[in-house]
Structure 1
Amino acid sequence: SMAQAVSRAAFARPARVAPRCRRPRVLAPRAGDSLRDGVSTETPEETRRQMAREVIDAMFQVGGPLESRLLRLPVPRAPPPPALMALASAREPRRSLNASLHPRRLRVPDVENALRCRCELTPSARVAGGRRMRCRASNAYVADLFAIVGGVSGQKVKNVLTLGGEVGFSCDAHSASSAPPSHRLSRFDLFHAHAFADSDTETVGLLFHASEYPAFDPEAFPHHLGYCQTDSTCAFDERKHSRRNVLWVARRDKISADESDNFDKKVVVAFAALDTSRAPEKERPNPLHDALLSVRELHTTFEGDFGDVAGDLLYLHELRDRKPKHRVFAFAR
């Protein structure tokens, strides 16, 4: 139906996603260079993927050339559950995620009168239901990440890690002017994330898309987004919208215990909102705006540029009669 087609726009991807195989790299603008320097022979898709790789690397290296565009968020002190980290080394993340889900399909409840507006928030037909990860800790961890982005005061996220800790980074040292604006956990703003993985670097990530359905405004936001935009309470704000892409990544790092060939591996975690705003004319161009966005008008990034897509995660915060971990629904691609 039209309602289903429109609702799936939030999870839409290009008609064809090329396999992520190793290929010779051609000239691409580096994060610290102006995009006007030199001529690149890359296609737009290759340019986005190159920049996405640089963004992920920058997430794990505080103080690099992209640091001013990474508005860092705190991360849970507990390391990501093994079920989530299993995606990092999977050659087929979609199959790995599907195998990690409980076989029972759950009814996805209506939230915030979405069905009255003929809006289905699920990436596939709502009647097919959703699933949940077998690992309860993984569901709880994902719920905590949503709570951090949404700045939920009523939901306690235990043991949030500070900058310089052993398993991750946070934004405690950033000034108030650079702090990412708080998104609201609602069906109009933040309710879903996309899971991806890169087995070559043993990285797993979640790309959160906030400000999903801003209210239509002929001046401020003249874009029709379908049924799910109806009655939107999310007023468009350019500054907030340019920070709608929030990236969580975890990577297994090889740490040499001695000078031998024996390596231990620890998990390093980073969490940040991406500043994809257009730079003023007299300032250095913002590489995230110029090279990362798939739809510049909407500040949209594509999860497939960061790695192999595993699936989608919904977090329906308005299900207040449930524990946060039971508000998570997973859908393998």
Structure 2
Amino acid sequence: MRCLSPLKLATLVGLSVSFSLSYSLSLSTSFLPHPTKNGLLRVFSDGDSGPYKIAGDLLSILGSKEEAARVSKKEAKELRSCLKFLVPLCPREKEHDYDKLEGRRDLGQIKGWRDADEMVWWPPLPVMELARLAVESGGDPGAIHRTLNPTMIPVPDVEGCKKNHCELTRTDYGRRFINKELNLYIAFLFDTIVARGPSVGFNVSLNRYDLFHGHLFLATNTGRLGILFHAKEYPAYEKKVFPYNMGYCQKGSYVRYDESMNMRNILWLAPMPSNITRSPPKWSAPGTLVVLDAHPSGIIYGDLIPDYAKDARTIYEEYFGDIVVDVNYFNVGNVAAEEKLFIC
């Protein structure tokens, strides 16, 4: 079921309705307006508080040493206690010259976990170029939009959605990147989340009730490229455990509402360029793929999730920056990975 109401409506209704909105609107925030200041990038001062500041500080501790040093030790410790890395942290060194990185591999050359680790730290050249473009453009979503193929591809009937009158995307069509390796890399990220989830106690599946979408954003202040993935999107209705009716798309769900909901938000960050005027550019931080653990005693639950979304454990992508597109990866049978991707 499409939901087009602004997020703020959730604060005006009762708990059950606000809970439902907080879930279903995780699919729609990417097309809400995002005002900017100081040019294309939104810039928040040190006096800013609330979820936007916490999200910015989270990005900082996953950035360069200089960025991480700006976050207080107390807050940094609290944030790190809520991070469950699907790919180990790449040791921070001085700026990297990408053309000299030994870890670079093509997606077709991945043979084991170490290769996959390196593919997250230092992705293929087209992904690095997209990351550079994001920063070089000043965080302009239009720069990313222009890398998309204009061909509109009809969204298929995903696991019986049409029978249930369920619409998982905001449009009936999707697009893909012109560069095929970018499409394959996003598919790789979805597959890696599923494969690595059990290593941090998080079982997730690629299906229309669980993991099928993420929100690509350009970070506030820096323009760093990232994706916030949402898993456990439509838990099954259970009178005692999850007594919330979420509409057509919930019908038939077999996703249980349990403690694994704490880990439904997964963050990917592309490598961060530090000198975009140099060719090839230098890089101050590697890529990362991490689960944001929203357990009730942690800072993410307390300060990054609004009250109306705490049961849903939904972190909103707009807290991290300007939203560019939604990336959807559907379980549509035995087709090539690229053909499962629909960018809306």
- TM-score, normalization: structure 1? 0.74
Deviations, residues 139-173 of structure 1 (Å, cap 9, x unaligned): 11100100011128xxxxxxxxxxxxxxxxxx9xx
* Identity %, equivalent residues: 26
The alpha-carbon distance between structure 1 residues 100 and 263, as it changes in their structure 2 partners (threshold 3 A), is: closer
Maintained 8 Å contact 2:139/2:222: no
DSSP-derived class of the 1:5 partner: coil
Maintained 8 Å contact 2:26/2:314: no
1:319 to 332, 336, 340: 332
Deviations, residues 96-126 of structure 1 (Å, cap 9, x unaligned): 22211111111111111011110011122x1
> How many residues are matched?
272
The alpha-carbon distance between structure 1 residues 199 and 135, as it changes in their structure 2 partners (threshold 3 A), is: farther
Query: What residue number does 1:48 align with?
Result: 51
Query: What residue number does 2:282 align with?
Result: 265
1:300 equivalent to 2:300? Answer no
1:84 equivalent to 2:104? Answer no
Superposed displacement of residue 222, structure 1: 1.5
1:232 equivalent to 2:253? Answer yes
Maintained 8 Å contact 2:272/2:287: no
Moved more, 87-96 or 268-277: 87-96
Query: What residue number does 2:25 align with?
Result: 9
CA distance in 1, matches of 2:226, 2:166: 27
Structure with more helix by fraction: 2
Query: What residue number does 1:328 align with?
Result: 341
Maintained 8 Å contact 2:218/2:323: yes
Q: Structure 2: any 5+ residue segments left out of the alignment? A: 5-22, 88-115
Structure 1 segment 1-333 matched on structure 2, within 5 A:
3-5=1-3, 9-13=25-29, 17-19=34-36, 21-26=42-47, 46-60=49-63, 64-65=76-77, 66-74=79-87, 76-78=117-119, 79-80=122-123, 81-82=127-128, 84-85=130-131, 86-91=133-138, 93-124=140-171, 126=172, 129-151=173-195, 179-198=200-219, 200-237=221-258, 239-254=259-274, 264-266=281-283, 268-279=286-297, 286-294=298-306, 295-316=309-330, 318-331=331-344
Moved more, 287-296 or 51-60: 51-60
The alpha-carbon distance between structure 1 residues 254 and 145, as it changes in their structure 2 partners (threshold 3 A), is: same
Superposed displacement of residue 303, structure 1: 0.7
CA distance in 1, matches of 2:325, 2:62: 22
Maintained 8 Å contact 1:88/1:199: no
Maintained 8 Å contact 1:83/1:138: no
DSSP-derived class of the 2:289 partner: strand
The alpha-carbon distance between structure 1 residues 25 and 216, as it changes in their structure 2 partners (threshold 3 A), is: same
The alpha-carbon distance between structure 1 residues 104 and 10, as it changes in their structure 2 partners (threshold 3 A), is: same
Maintained 8 Å contact 2:135/2:273: no
Moved more, 218-227 or 196-205: 196-205
